Protein backbone atom coordinates (compact mmCIF):
# COMPACT_ATOMS: atom_id res chain seq x y z
CA UNK A 1 0.00 0.00 0.00
CA UNK A 2 2.87 2.37 0.80
CA UNK A 3 4.36 1.64 -2.60
CA UNK A 4 1.13 2.69 -4.27
CA UNK A 5 1.08 5.93 -2.29
CA UNK A 6 4.69 6.61 -3.24
CA UNK A 7 3.84 5.87 -6.86
CA UNK A 8 0.89 8.29 -6.73
CA UNK A 9 3.12 10.92 -5.09
CA UNK A 10 5.68 10.50 -7.88
CA UNK A 11 2.99 10.80 -10.53
CA UNK A 12 1.61 13.93 -8.82
CA UNK A 13 5.12 15.42 -8.66
CA UNK A 14 5.61 14.75 -12.38
CA UNK A 15 2.21 16.28 -13.17
CA UNK A 16 3.04 19.30 -11.06
CA UNK A 17 6.34 19.72 -12.87
CA UNK A 18 4.63 19.33 -16.24
CA UNK A 19 1.95 21.88 -15.31
CA UNK A 20 4.63 24.38 -14.25
CA UNK A 21 6.45 23.89 -17.55
CA UNK A 22 3.22 24.35 -19.49
CA UNK A 23 2.40 27.53 -17.56
CA UNK A 24 5.87 28.90 -18.25
CA UNK A 25 5.56 28.06 -21.93
CA UNK A 26 2.08 29.57 -22.05
CA UNK A 27 3.34 32.82 -20.46
CA UNK A 28 6.16 32.93 -22.99
CA UNK A 29 3.74 32.40 -25.87
CA UNK A 30 1.39 35.07 -24.54
CA UNK A 31 4.28 37.58 -24.34
CA UNK A 32 5.41 36.66 -27.82
CA UNK A 33 1.85 36.97 -29.12
CA UNK A 34 1.52 40.42 -27.56
CA UNK A 35 4.84 41.54 -29.07
CA UNK A 36 3.78 40.31 -32.51
CA UNK A 37 0.42 42.05 -32.19
CA UNK A 38 2.19 45.30 -31.29
CA UNK A 39 4.49 44.84 -34.26
CA UNK A 40 1.52 44.30 -36.57
CA UNK A 41 -0.22 47.38 -35.14
CA UNK A 42 2.94 49.43 -35.73
CA UNK A 43 3.17 48.21 -39.32
CA UNK A 44 -0.52 48.96 -39.89
CA UNK A 45 0.05 52.50 -38.65
CA UNK A 46 3.08 52.89 -40.92
CA UNK A 47 1.03 51.63 -43.88
CA UNK A 48 -1.75 54.11 -43.12
CA UNK A 49 0.77 56.95 -42.88
CA UNK A 50 2.34 55.91 -46.19
CA UNK A 51 -1.09 55.75 -47.84
CA UNK A 52 -1.89 59.24 -46.56
CA UNK A 53 1.45 60.48 -47.85
CA UNK A 54 0.87 58.92 -51.27
CA UNK A 55 -2.65 60.39 -51.43
CA UNK A 56 -1.33 63.84 -50.52
CA UNK A 57 1.43 63.61 -53.11
CA UNK A 58 -1.13 62.48 -55.68
CA UNK A 59 -3.40 65.42 -54.84
CA UNK A 60 -0.44 67.82 -54.99
CA UNK A 61 0.60 66.36 -58.34
CA UNK A 62 -2.95 66.64 -59.67
CA UNK A 63 -3.12 70.27 -58.54
CA UNK A 64 0.20 71.01 -60.19
CA UNK A 65 -0.96 69.27 -63.37
CA UNK A 66 -4.13 71.39 -63.42
CA UNK A 67 -2.13 74.58 -62.88
CA UNK A 68 0.28 73.70 -65.71
CA UNK A 69 -2.63 72.82 -68.01
CA UNK A 70 -4.31 76.14 -67.27
CA UNK A 71 -1.10 78.07 -67.90
CA UNK A 72 -0.46 76.21 -71.16
CA UNK A 73 -4.02 76.91 -72.31
CA UNK A 74 -3.50 80.57 -71.47
CA UNK A 75 -0.27 80.65 -73.45
CA UNK A 76 -1.93 78.88 -76.35
CA UNK A 77 -4.74 81.45 -76.31
CA UNK A 78 -2.21 84.27 -76.37
CA UNK A 79 -0.29 82.70 -79.26
CA UNK A 80 -3.51 82.11 -81.21
CA UNK A 81 -4.49 85.72 -80.60
CA UNK A 82 -1.10 86.91 -81.82
CA UNK A 83 -1.35 84.73 -84.93
CA UNK A 84 -4.86 85.98 -85.63
CA UNK A 85 -3.72 89.62 -85.31
CA UNK A 86 -0.74 89.01 -87.58
CA UNK A 87 -2.94 87.26 -90.10
CA UNK A 88 -5.39 90.17 -90.00
CA UNK A 89 -2.56 92.66 -90.48
CA UNK A 90 -1.20 90.67 -93.43
CA UNK A 91 -4.63 90.55 -95.02
CA UNK A 92 -5.05 94.31 -94.58
CA UNK A 93 -1.68 94.95 -96.21
CA UNK A 94 -2.48 92.69 -99.16
CA UNK A 95 -5.97 94.08 -99.71
CA UNK A 96 -4.94 97.65 -99.22
CA UNK A 97 -7.08 98.54 -96.23
Burial annotation 6-41 (CB, 10 A radius, 16+ → b, else e): eeeeeeeeeeeeeeeeeeeeeeeeeeeeeeeeeeee
pLDDT reported for residue 8: 96
- Round to whole Å and give the CA distance between 20 and 27: 11
- Round to whole Å and give the CA distance between 5 and 13: 12
Positions in the chain short of pLDDT 70: 94-97
pTM of the complete model: 0.56
Amino acid sequence: MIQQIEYIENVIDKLDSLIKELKTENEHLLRENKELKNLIDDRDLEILQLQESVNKESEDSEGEKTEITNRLQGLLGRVQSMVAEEKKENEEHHTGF
